[in-house]
Structure 1
Amino acid sequence: MQSIIKDGQIVQDGWQILRADAEGQYPAVAPDVDVIVPLSQWLADKAGWQARPGRTAVWLAPADDPQLLAADLAALPLVAVDFPAFTDGRGYSLGRLLRERYSYAGELRALGDVWVDLLHYLWQVGFNAFEIKDGKAIDSALSGYDTFTERYQSTHREPLPLFRRRVTSL
């Protein structure tokens, strides 16, 4: 089991992420294992994934359309967004869309090339779980929540921009 950050705590995680190998083949998964499958696999056999004894969640690639998952969101315990590269910010938009447009209330996990530098911003757009990149210290990653004390722009967690908050506090 690996450790992740969830809701500001380091916890053990039992979910297995299903990724294709170099030949594009997906590994077999035991029926009772909790698994996070790519959107394409979910859409190809939704009924099969739902019938498993283990829980099934879905992960989105940066180019995936979250609207394809909208009808299933209420039944999913977890949705993950893949950040294949530190410099690829499309996942921020996916996270915010899932929370604000599609009202997803379950666990929203960032996975892939996730570093402590991203944690504060990911938290602000709605992510509540983080799989820190291998080789990065998860203990020190908790400090990422407190990188900044104030934000100028509106976010999922702070819907009013700073200038609106200052006017209401005077």
Structure 2
Amino acid sequence: MNKAFVKESDGDEDDLDASVPAIPAGTKNYMTPDGHRRMKEELLRLIDVDRPEVVRIVSWAASNGDRSENGDYIYGKRRLREIDRRIRFLTKRLDLAEVVDPSVHHGSNQIFFGATVTYENQAGDEHTVTIVGIDELDPLNGRISWISPVARALTKAREGDSVTLMTPAGVDELTILSVTYPAS
């Protein structure tokens, strides 16, 4: 079949970024002030810098004539769809965001959203994690989502407590060594 008759997906059914988990039904999109700021900066950069630049390239490429074999035009249009999809995703997530400032718990030894927790498992391995929003997670750098099993097990516990974590390998006991929050 000729490529001219094949409809490319416009991405409307795929607005959500597949690398970020969906927000569970009935819950809020909690976010730290820093995470909210970073997402807003990304959105503004896409709208004010990236998209206009790609539009300029696509316009230039379109003026060159035959679009069917024009790589700048074809890849520019694809990039424009990616940018528009990301803009829709960020807009939706920021509209649903509920910014929670973890510094209000500064000095507390109880674990809530935004806490940085150091714990030890039964094997004696020490881990430090910060409980953040779904859109801010970065497990390789110790930033875990508040809906993760580890965060759920730790939430509301206090420094010195032991909590039970159900893992695929079985039950693990986590001992909380320290809890910190950012200062205002």
TM class by shorter-chain length? under 0.3
Q: Give the TM-score normalised by the residue count of structure 2.
A: 0.22
Q: Give the TM-score normalised by the residue count of structure 1.
A: 0.24
In terms of fraction of residues, the more helix-rich structure is 2
Structure number with greater Rg is: 2
Highest RCO, 1 vs 2 (Cα 8 Å, sep ≥ 6): 2
